[in-house]
Amino acid sequence: MFTEKLNKRIDAVDSMLCVGLDPDLKRLPEHISRDAAGVTAFCRAIVDTTAPYVCAFKPQIAYFAGAGLEKALEDTIAYIREKHPDIVVILDAKRGDIGSTAKQYAKEAFERYQADAVTLSPYMGFDTIEPYFAYEGRGVILLCRTSNPGGADIEELVTKDGDMVYERVAKLAAGPWNVNGQVGLVVGATQPAEIARVRALAPATPLLVPGIGAQGGDVDAAVAAGLDAEGRGMIINSSRAVIFAGQGEDFAQAAAQAAKTTRDAIRAAKTKARG
Amino acid sequence: MFTEKLNKRIDAVDSMLCVGLDPDLKRLPEHISRDAAGVTAFCRAIVDTTAPYVCAFKPQIAYFAGAGLEKALEDTIAYIREKHPDIVVILDAKRGDIGSTAKQYAKEAFERYQADAVTLSPYMGFDTIEPYFAYEGRGVILLCRTSNPGGADIEELVTKDGDMVYERVAKLAAGPWNVNGQVGLVVGATQPAEIARVRALAPATPLLVPGIGAQGGDVDAAVAAGLDAEGRGMIINSSRAVIFAGQGEDFAQAAAQAAKTTRDAIRAAKTKARG
């Protein structure tokens, strides 16, 4: 079960840090070859050195698909599952399509790539989410309020009931759409007030929070806003600031150091928030 | 240019039919092998026999990705571009992600797969659409009002200004988001009243209209609602009803017959609508 595995891992290593695996070919260390073997080796090295500090890894499928490197994604996730089976794997795919097509995307995420959870768009409604529940215990994490500049364009439209669109998504995800207890929400770290709002609407929902590090989110504010009653409930993602921390032969050690520093900042923020 | 190529093709063959390439392994004719070679052969055969009747082909990437058959998708689109260069290729991907990630998806759609246009989700806002405009002349087709049962969950939320969410998307797509004149909208065929509403808000925007055939949309009503002032402006998609029309050795001829029948129904609907 996605949420149980997540909570167990968060407790085991006292970390809510997720490391995002976005192997941008333009930013890989120079000595790494720009092919499936190189990208897989890069990801494996990052995975091994950062593993002690994380609750989850989040491969971003676009970086693999853009370069035709699906094989590297398959191999990277298989490696995580073999060597670090307690760490949650979230496939960041943001898919969203009608039922018969959603079945294919669910197969992609859960059979082909063997992810524990997948990110999805809520735009097309519940029947585009439902097919993923056929995979028992797997998680779906719905886009809610994202941290990008245009995030407000649609997500913050105010409905006539007074809810913004993202608030409606939060209510649905915490309520009628949460058929298996394995539904999470994406809320950007750069909007602590909105994290707090989502937490109020969805008290027990795991929040995937991107935007720490390269995107400039404030860790203290985000953690204070998003912790659940048990002092967990957050998966705080850093991608580029960790995986591209170093450009030399010791890139994986530099990544580990960045991961440790970020984990410590999250831990400190949690201690502060819990008083 | 996507729209120019589309209009030219619509006029050349007097057809607004788009055939969706959704090679569901469970529904392929029995004699087709369930691998990249088989799927490519299936798609090529359908493409060749249905080409005279279509303005566009729309491969649905999920069916390729779910089965690990990206190679078949690459080969199918390369084949269309080589043998039928006047026919528009729309990659149905419904991607949506922050700028740096969107660049990778744009690369996937336009460099790797060489599509003329790609479907996208508007949920995360304008800066998640913008990177696609870096590819001059390529089209982006935004989800607006979809034909699935849950389509109303988010798309029909009424905002305090009185617009539904999908109406806001239509206005954005026809206005500030249409920076290159190559922006289209997805509107399901099963909701003619909503097609008419989108057409009113976006008079010159090409509408990709799925839901004819297997999904049961009424061709006459959809066409009457969606035609633009020039009697074009629609890309009416049928997938399963065409490509799985036959299960025998003559499956491609059966598909051609189904495509021709659907094209004729669209033509007749157009004549009726234009009086």
- pLDDT, tens digit, for every residue of A149-162? 999 999 999 999 99
The ipTM, to two decimals, is: 0.96
Q: Which residue has the tokens 């298996």?
A: A180
CATH number, domain B2-273, options 1.10.1740.10, 3.40.50.1000, 3.40.980.10, 3.20.20.70: 3.20.20.70
Q: What percent of chain A has pLDDT over 70?
A: 99
Contact A108 B153 (CB under 8 A): no
Q: Which residues of A touch B107 (CB under 8 A)?
A: 66-67
Summarised one tens digit per residue, pLDDT across range B105-141 is 999 999 999 999 999 999 999 999 999 999 999 999 9
Which residue among the candidates A8, A58, A83, A94 is catalytic per the annotation?
A: A94
B107 annotated active-site? no
Query: How many other CB atoms are found less than 10 A from the CB of residue B7?
Result: 18
Q: Given this model, what pLDDT does residue A215 score?
A: 59
For residue A271, the distance in angstroms to the closest alpha carbon of chain B comes to 31
* Residues on chain A touching B158 (C-beta within 8 angstroms): 159-160
Distances (CA, A) of B216 to A85, A128, B82, B219: 45, 18, 33, 9
Distances (CA, A) of B42 to A135, A249, B21, B36, B149: 29, 47, 10, 10, 30
Q: Mean pLDDT, chain B, as a whole number?
A: 96
Query: Out of A62, A98, A123, whose CB is closest to B97?
Result: A62
Q: What is the DSSP letter of B187?
A: E
Is the pTM higher than 0.80? The answer reads yes
Please tell me which of the candidates A105, A108, A123 has its beta carbon nearest to residue B123.
A123
Confidence of residue B217 (pLDDT cuts 50, 70, 90): low
CB contact under 8 A, A168 and B147: no
Tokens of B172: 């954005």
User: What's the rounded Cα separation, in Å, for the pair B266 and B224?
Assistant: 10
Residues 6+ apart with CB under 8 A from A75: A36, A40
Question: A159 has which bridge partners?
Answer: B159
Say how many C-beta atoms besides its own lie within 10 A of residue B81's C-beta: 14
CB contact under 8 A, B127 and A107: no
Q: What tokens does B146 get? A: 């979809």
Query: Residues B174, B166: contact at Cβ < 8 Å?
Result: no
- Distance, in Å, from the CA atom of A94 to the CA atom of B69, rounded to the nearest integer, reads 20
Which of B69, B94, B110 should be substituted to probe chain A, the one whose Cβ sees the most A Cβ atoms within 10 Å? B94
Q: Is the pLDDT of residue B246 over 70?
A: yes
pLDDT in tens, B62-77: 999 999 999 999 999 9
Q: Is the pLDDT of residue B239 over 80?
A: yes
The answer to whether the Cβ–Cβ distance between B123 and A128 falls below 8 Å is no
The two three-digit tokens of residue B82, written as one number: 């080589």
DSSP state of B157: P
Inspect the interface and report whether the beta carbons of B66 and A123 lie closer than 8 Å.
no
CB contacts of B22 in chain A (<8 Å) are 100-101
Give the up-direction half-sphere exposure of residue B170: CA atoms within 13 A in the CB hemisphere: 27
Residue with tokens 């709002």: A197
Mean pLDDT on B198-211: 97
**Average pLDDT rounded to a whole number, residues A257-262:** 97
Distance CA B21, CA A177 (A): 30
CATH number of A2-270, picked from 3.10.450.50, 3.40.309.10, 3.20.20.70, 3.50.30.30: 3.20.20.70
Q: What residue has token string 């770290």? A: A189
Other beta carbons within 10 angstroms of residue A121's beta carbon come to 26
Residues of chain A neighbouring B172 (CB-CB closer than 8 A):
153
The pLDDT value given to residue A217 = 64
**The 3-state secondary structure of chain A, one letter per residue:** CHHHHHHHHHHHHCCCEEEEECCCCCCCCCCCCCCHHHHHHHHHHHHHHHHHHCCEEEEEHHHHHCCCCHHHHHHHHHHHHHHCCCCEEEEEEEECCCHHHHHHHHHHHHHHCCCCEEEECCCCCHHHCHHHHHCCCCEEEEEEECCCHHHHHHHCCEECCCCEHHHHHHHHHHCCCCCCCCEEEEECCCCHHHHHHHHHHCCCCCEEEECECCCCECHHHHHHHHCCCCCCCEEEEECHHHHCCCCCCCHHHHHHHHHHHHHHHHHHHHHHHHC
Residue of A nearest to B157 (CA): A159
- B162-182 tens-digit pLDDT: 999 999 999 999 999 999 999
Contacts of A66 in chain B (CB under 8 A): 103-105, 107-108, 112
Residues of chain B with pLDDT > 90: what percent? 95
Find the length of chain B: 275
Answer for the pair B126, B168: CB distance below 8 angstroms, yes or no.
no
Packing angle, helices A251-274 and A219-226, rounded to 10: 50
- B contact test, residue of A92, A148, A156 with most B CBs within 10 A: A148
With 0-12 / 13-18 / 19 or more C-beta atoms within 10 angstroms meaning exposed / middle / buried, residue A87 is buried
Pick from B118, B147, B154 the residue to mutate for testing the A interface (most A CBs within 10 Å): B154
Q: Is B31 exposed, middle or buried (0-12, 13-18, 19+ CB in 10 A)?
A: exposed
- Residue B190 pLDDT > 90, yes or no? no
Hey, is B228 helix, strand or coil?
coil
Tens digit of each residue's pLDDT (9 = 90 or more) over A37-92: 999 999 999 999 999 999 999 999 999 999 999 999 999 999 999 999 999 999 99
- pLDDT band of residue B211 (cuts 50, 70, 90) is confident
Separation in Å, CA B90 to CA A78, B59, B87, B137, B237: 32, 7, 10, 13, 11
Instruction: With beta carbons less than 8 A apart as the criterion, state whether B72 and B36 touch.
Output: yes
State the average pLDDT over residues B223-227.
97
pLDDT at B156: 97
The neighbour count for residue B242, using CB atoms within 10 Å, is: 30
- Alpha helix (H) ranges present in chain B? 2-13, 36-50, 61-65, 70-83, 99-106, 152-155, 165-174, 192-201, 219-226, 240-243, 251-273
Give the residue-averaged pLDDT of B26-34: 97
Taking an 8 Å cut-off on Cβ atoms, the answer to whether B168 and A157 are in contact is: yes
Give tens-digit pLDDT for A201-243: 999 999 999 988 755 568 999 999 999 999 999 999 999 999 9
pLDDT of res. B214: 58
